[in-house]
C-alpha cells in the first residue's frame, strides 16, 4: 500500500519511510504510543498517513493529524491527502475522505459579522495610526466575508491583524451555540465540524488538539489515534493554550461588555479594581514573581470579587432569550469576559498557595509591555506533562513525529515533558524510533565550531565574530543563512556587515519573512539574517544555501520567567533543571537550525557555530549529539577552503 502511495506522489520508496510506516502500523495495532524521529527527506507524512487511512477506514472514528504550522497543514490538505486518496481508492472499499478543522476563532462568525456584537477592540489600541490600519483590514474582511466559502482566516491573503479579526470572530465560549444562533445553520465553524465528523482523516493544529483534550466538551470528532507531526512544538503550544493573563485593558474590555446589563455601581467596582492593577503594574519590576506582595494579593482578590459581583448581577446564564439573539450574544460575551477575569485572578492567587517549591504548579510574572501593549500579569503551568499524560495519552494511541525528537541522542528529554516515563518500553507503553535520514551527513555537511573565538557576551556581537562571519561569507560567495539568538544581534550584524560585504544582505523585518526567503532562494549570492522564525521555517534546497551561521547556543534568556521557573521546579524535584529545560530547549533549536542546511539529497555545505562553548562546555556533548552527524572540525582555514571549493563547483 505504501509503495502505491509513494508512486502516486511521484517519489521513491526509502528504507526510513518503510520502517516508519511499519512502526506506525504496529503502534496503531498494539495501542502503544510511538515517538519517531525522521530526518528531512524521509517522506514521513506518507509513512503515517497510509496506516492512518487504513485504520480510519476499518474503524468507527477518524484519525486526527495535528500540525504546528499552517505550511504543513496546507501541504497535507492541498497536496499529500488528495493524491493519496485517489491512489489508494482502488485498494479500499471507497475513496478516503479528509478535512481540516481549526478552533472556532479561526473561522468568520457570520452572526458577529452581521449583528450588533459589542465592539471592544478599538479602545485597546494606543496608536491612532494603528486604528486606521485596522480600519482598512476590517473593510477587507467585510468584502471577503461575502465571497469566502470556508470562512477560514488562513485563506484571507494578505492576513489581517488580531484586532481586526476579533471583530469578526468568537471564541468557543462566546459562541451562542448553533441551536440558538440565527446564523447557526450556515455557520462556517459548524460546517467545518460537520465535514470533519464525516472524514477519515482530520487535520488540525496543536492548539485545538490541546483544547479538545482539556475541555469536557469534545471539539474533534471521535478518534482513537492521533498523529502529532512537528511534535517538537507540542509542549510550547499546549503551554500557550493553558496560559492566562490579566491587565487593566482586559478588565476594561470586560466592563465594556457588561455595559448597561448591570447597575453602573457594580460595573464601576470592577473598573476601579482594574485601575488599581494598572497603577500597581506601572511601578512593579517586570519578571517572575516568587512571593505574592500583599498589595498585589489584595488587588487580585478585589478583581476576583468585583468580577464575581458582576456575574451575579447579570442573573441566570440561560433561558428567556430565545427571541432576542442579539441580547443573548451580548450576555454571553459579558459572561465569558467576566469568567475569564474572575478565574484568572483566582488562579493567580492559587499559584502562591504553596510554601514548598515542589508543590507549586504554576508561575506568575509581570510582562513589562510595550508602547502598544500595556503591562500584563501572566500565568503558565510549570509543566504540562501531567495534563498530557492524563488527557492526551490517556485514552488514545498517539504517534509523535518530527525531524528533531531524540535530543542528546535519546527521546527521554521530550518524553518527560510529554508526561511519558523516561524508559521506553515500560508500562506507560511507548517506544522511540529514529529512522535516520536519507542524507549522507558526514559527506554532505561540515559542522564547524569556532573554538578560537571568545565566549559570546551580553553586549552585542564582539568584533571577532563580525570578522569571522565576513570571512566565512566571502568564502561561500554569499549563500548564507544567519541564525541569530536575538533580533538585536541579527540587526547589529546586518548593519555592520552591509558595509563590509559585496553580496546582498537581507534582514528579517525588511519585508515579510515569506518574501525575504523567496528573494534569498532566487538569488544565489544573497544572504539572509534573522532570528527565531528562520530557525525553523526556511526550506531552501539547492545552491542558494551553502552556509548556516549560528551566532550562539540558543539557550533561553536567564531572565525568561517561564523557563527559569521550570528549571527551578525540576531542580526542587531532584532533577537537573539546566539540562532538563535550558539545554533541551537549546538542543532542539540548534538541531532545527542546523537542519536548514541539507534540504535535498544533492545539497552540500557548512553549519558554522560561532559560540566556542559547543566545543568546550560540559554540556557540549549533549548538544552535539542532538545535531545531524556532520563531519566535525574546529579549523577555520579548512572550512573556508571547503566553502570556496563549493562556491566554485
Ligand atoms: S454558531 Fe457561533 S460561531 Fe457560528 S455564527 Fe453563530 S455565534 Fe458565530
**pLDDT tens per residue, range 471-530:** 999 999 999 999 998 899 999 999 999 989 999 999 998 888 888 999 999 999 999 999
Q: Supply the pLDDT for residue 126.
A: 46
Q: What is the predicted pLDDT for the residue at 150? A: 93
- Nearest ligand 1 atom, CA 182: 6
Distance 152 CA to ligand 1 centre (A): 14
Mean pLDDT throughout 37-42? 91
Average pLDDT over residues 60-66: 91
pLDDT, tens digit, 9 for 90 and up, residues 307-343:
999 999 998 887 555 567 778 888 888 999 999 999 9
Residues 6+ apart with CB under 8 A from 433: 19, 20, 23, 34, 35, 36, 37
Please tell me the predicted confidence (pLDDT) of residue 365. Answer: 98
- Give the pLDDT of residue 128: 53
Q: How far is CA 130 from CA 153, 498, 566, 637, in A?
A: 20, 31, 36, 50
Stronger pLDDT, 609 or 58, i.e. the higher one: 609
Report CA(323)–ligand 1 centroid distance (Å): 16
402 forms beta bridges with 37
270 CA from centroid of ligand 1 (Å): 28
Atom of ligand 1 nearest to the CA of 190: 4
What's residue 544's pLDDT?
94
DSSP-assigned beta bridge partners for residue 65: 203, 227
- What pLDDT, on a 0 to 100 scale, did the predictor assign at position 7? 73
Sign of CA dihedral 46, 50, 53, 55: negative
CB 40 within 8 Å of CB 595 = yes
pLDDT over 80 (residue 424):
no
pLDDT tens digits for range 563-585:
999 999 999 999 999 999 999 99
CA-to-CA distance for 97 and 74, rounded, in angstroms? Answer: 16
Q: pLDDT band for position 130 (50/70/90)?
A: low
Mutation pick for ligand 1 pocket among 170, 191, 332 (CB with most ligand atoms within 8 Å)? 170
Mutate to test the pocket of ligand 1, among 101, 108, 152, 190 (most ligand atoms within 8 A of CB): 190
Ligand 1 centroid – CA 66 distance (Å) = 24
Mean pLDDT in residue range 129-136 = 73
Task: Give the mean model confidence (pLDDT) for residues 421-443.
Answer: 79
Q: Give 53 Cα–ligand 1 centroid separation in angstroms.
A: 31
- What average pLDDT is seen over the chain? 90
Q: Which residues line ligand 1 (CB under 6 A)?
A: 104, 109-112, 170, 175-176, 178, 181, 183-184, 187, 189-190
Residue 345 has pLDDT above 90, yes or no: yes
Query: What would the mean pLDDT of 102-114 be, rounded to a whole number?
Result: 91
The predicted pLDDT at position 321 comes to 55
Q: What pLDDT, on the 0 to 100 scale, is given for residue 124?
A: 46
Residue 447 neighbours by CB under 8 Å, 6+ apart: 594, 606, 607, 609, 624, 627, 630, 631, 632, 633
Give, in order, the Cα–Cα distances in Å from 206 to each of 70, 430, 599.
Answer: 11, 20, 25
Q: Whose C-alpha lies nearest to ligand 1, atom 3?
A: 109
Give the pLDDT band (50/70/90) at residue 421. confident
pTM as predicted: 0.89
Contact predicate 548/481, CB 8 Å: yes
* Nearest residue to 236 via CA among 551, 482, 560, 573: 560
The pLDDT score that the predictor gives to residue 154 is 87
In this prediction, residues 402-413 reach a mean pLDDT of 92
Query: Can you give the pLDDT at residue 306?
Result: 97
Which residue among 110, 177, 185 has the greatest number of ligand 1 atoms within 8 angstroms of its CB, and so is best to mutate? 110
Q: What is the pLDDT of residue 319?
A: 58
pLDDT at 395: 83
Q: Rounding to the nearest 10 degrees, give the CA dihedral for residues 230, 235, 236, 237.
A: 70
| Residue 360: pLDDT over 80 | yes
For the cut 70, the answer to whether the pLDDT of residue 266 exceeds it is: yes
Q: Is the pLDDT of residue 182 over 90?
A: no
What distance in Å separates the CA atoms of residue 364 and residue 346, rounded to the nearest whole number? Answer: 12
Which of 169, 175, 328 to probe ligand 1 with, by most ligand atoms within 8 A of CB?
175
* Averaged pLDDT for residues 210-227: 87
Edge-to-edge strand list for the sheet holding 201-205? 98-100, 201-205, 62-67, 223-228, 397-402, 33-37, 430-434
Give the model's confidence band at 226: pLDDT under 50 very low, under 70 low, under 90 confident, else very high: very high
Task: Report d(CA 596, CA 541) in Å as an integer.
Answer: 9
Give the model's confidence band at 459: pLDDT under 50 very low, under 70 low, under 90 confident, else very high: confident
Q: Is the pLDDT of residue 452 over 80?
A: yes
Count Cβ atoms below 10 Å from residue 207 Cβ, excluding itself.
18
Q: How far is the CA of 181 from the centre of ligand 1 (A)?
A: 6
Determine which residue's CA is closest to atom 2 belonging to ligand 1. Answer: 175
Of the pLDDT bands very low, low, confident and very high (cuts 50, 70, 90), residue 180 is: confident
Mutate to test the pocket of ligand 1, among 171, 187, 335 (most ligand atoms within 8 A of CB): 187
C-alpha 451/C-alpha 473 separation (Å) is 18
Nearest ligand 1 atom to alpha carbon 104: 3
Those residues whose C-beta lies under 8 Å from the C-beta of residue 202, and which sit 6 or more positions away, are: 62, 63, 64, 65, 98, 99, 100, 101, 196, 220, 221, 223
* Grid cell locating 319: 433561558
Q: Whose CA is nearest to atom 7 of ligand 1?
A: 175
Amino acid at each position: 500500500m505504501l509503495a502505491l502511495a509513494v508512486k502516486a506522489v511521484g517519489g521513491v520508496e526509502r528504507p526510513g519511510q518503510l520502517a516508519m510506516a511499519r512502526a506506525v502500523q504496529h503502534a496503531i495495532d498494539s495501542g502503544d504510543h510511538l515517538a519517531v524521529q525522521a530526518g528531512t527527506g524521509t517522506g514521513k507524512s506518507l509513512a503515517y498517513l497510509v496506516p492512518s487511512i487504513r485504520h480510519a477506514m476499518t474503524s468507527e472514528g477518524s484519525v486526527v493529524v495535528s500540525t504546528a504550522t499552517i505550511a504543513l497543514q496546507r501541504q497535507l490538505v492541498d497536496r499529500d491527502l488528495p493524491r493519496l486518496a485517489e491512489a489508494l481508492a482502488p485498494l479500499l472499499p471507497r475513496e478516503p475522505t479528509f478535512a481540516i478543522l481549526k478552533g472556532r476563532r479561526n473561522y468568520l462568525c457570520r452572526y458577529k459579522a452581521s449583528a450588533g456584537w459589542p465592539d471592544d477592540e478599538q479602545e485597546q489600541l494606543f496608536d491612532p495610526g494603528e486604528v486606521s490600519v485596522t480600519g482598512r483590514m476590517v473593510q477587507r474582511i467585510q468584502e471577503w466575508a461575502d465571497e469566502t466559502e470556508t470562512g477560514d482566516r488562513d485563506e484571507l491573503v494578505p492576513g489581517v491583524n488580531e484586532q481586526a479579526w476579533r471583530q469578526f470572530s468568537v471564541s468557543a465560549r462566546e459562541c451562542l451555540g448553533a441551536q440558538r444562533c440565527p446564523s447557526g445553520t450556515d455557520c462556517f465553524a459548524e460546517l467545518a465540524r460537520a465535514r470533519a465528523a464525516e472524514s477519515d482523516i482530520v487535520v488540525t493544529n496543536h492548539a485545538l488538539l490541546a483544547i479538545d483534550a482539556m475541555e469536557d466538551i469534545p471539539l474533534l470528532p471521535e478518534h482513537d489515534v492521533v498523529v502529532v507531526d512537528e511534535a517538537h512544538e507540542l509542549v510550547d503550544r499546549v503551554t500557550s493554550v493553558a496560559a492566562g493573563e490579566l491587565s487593566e485593558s482586559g478588565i476594561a474590555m470586560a466592563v465594556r461588555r457588561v455595559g448597561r446589563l448591570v447597575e453602573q455601581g457594580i460595573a464601576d467596582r470592577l473598573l476601579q479594581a482594574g485601575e488599581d492593577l494598572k497603577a500597581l503594574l506601572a511601578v512593579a519590576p517586570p519578571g517572575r514573581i516568587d512571593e505574592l506582595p500583599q498589595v498585589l494579593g489584595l488587588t487580585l482578590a478585589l478583581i476576583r470579587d468585583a468580577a464575581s459581583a458582576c456575574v451575579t448581577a447579570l442573573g441566570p446564564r440561560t433561558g428567556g432569550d430565545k427571541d432576542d439573539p442579539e441580547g443573548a450574544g451580548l450576555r454571553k460575551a459579558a459572561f465569558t469576559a467576566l469568567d475569564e477575569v474572575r478565574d484568572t485572578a483566582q488562579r493567580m492567587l492559587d499559584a502562591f498557595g504553596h510554601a514548598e517549591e515542589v508543590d507549586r504548579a504554576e508561575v506568575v510574572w509581570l510582562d513589562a509591555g510595550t508602547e502598544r501593549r500595556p503591562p500584563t500579569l501572566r500565568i503558565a503551568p510549570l509543566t504540562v506533562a501531567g495534563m498530557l499524560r492524563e488527557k492526551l495519552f490517556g485514552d488514545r494511541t498517539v504517534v509523535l513525529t518530527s525531524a528533531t525528537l531524540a535530543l542528546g541522542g535519546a527521546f527521554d528529554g521530550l518524553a518527560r515533558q510529554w508526561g511519558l516515563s523516561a524508559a521506553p518500553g515500560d508500562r506507560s507503553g511507548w517506544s522511540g524510533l529514529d529512522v535516520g535520514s536519507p542524507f549522507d551527513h558526514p559527506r554532505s555537511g561540515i559542522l564547524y565550531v569556532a573554538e578560537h573565538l571568545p565566549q559570546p557576551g551580553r553586549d552585542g556581537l564582539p568584533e571577532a565574530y563580525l570578522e569571522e562571519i565576513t570571512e566565512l561569507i566571502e568564502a561561500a560567495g554569499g549563500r548564507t543563512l544567519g541564525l541569530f539568538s536575538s533580533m538585536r544581534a541579527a540587526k547589529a550584524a546586518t548593519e555592520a556587515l552591509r558595509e563590509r560585504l559585496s553580496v546582498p544582505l537581507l534582514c528579517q523585518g525588511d519585508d515579510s519573512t515569506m518574501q525575504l526567503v523567496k528573494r534569498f532562494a532566487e538569488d544565489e549570492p544573497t544572504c539572509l539574517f534573522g532570528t527565531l522564525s528562520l530557525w525553523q521555517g526556511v526550506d531552501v534546497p539547492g545552491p542558494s544555501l551553502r552556509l548556516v551561521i549560528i551566532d550562539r547556543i540558543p539557550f533561553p534568556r536567564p531572565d525568561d520567567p517561564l523557563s527559569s521557573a521550570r528549571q527551578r521546579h525540576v531542580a526542587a524535584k531532584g532533577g537537573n533543571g539546566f539540562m532538563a529545560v535550558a539545554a533541551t530547549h537549546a538542543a532542539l533549536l540548534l538541531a532545527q537550525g542546523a537542519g536548514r542546511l541539507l534540504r535535498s539529497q544533492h545539497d552540500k555545505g557548512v553549519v558554522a557555530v560561532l559560540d566556542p562553548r559547543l566545543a568546550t562546555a560540559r554540556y557540549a556533548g549533549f548538544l552535539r549529539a542532538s545535531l545531524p552527524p556532520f563531519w566535525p572540525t574546529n579549523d577555520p582555514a579548512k572550512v573556508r577552503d571547503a566553502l570556496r571549493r563549493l562556491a566554485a563547483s
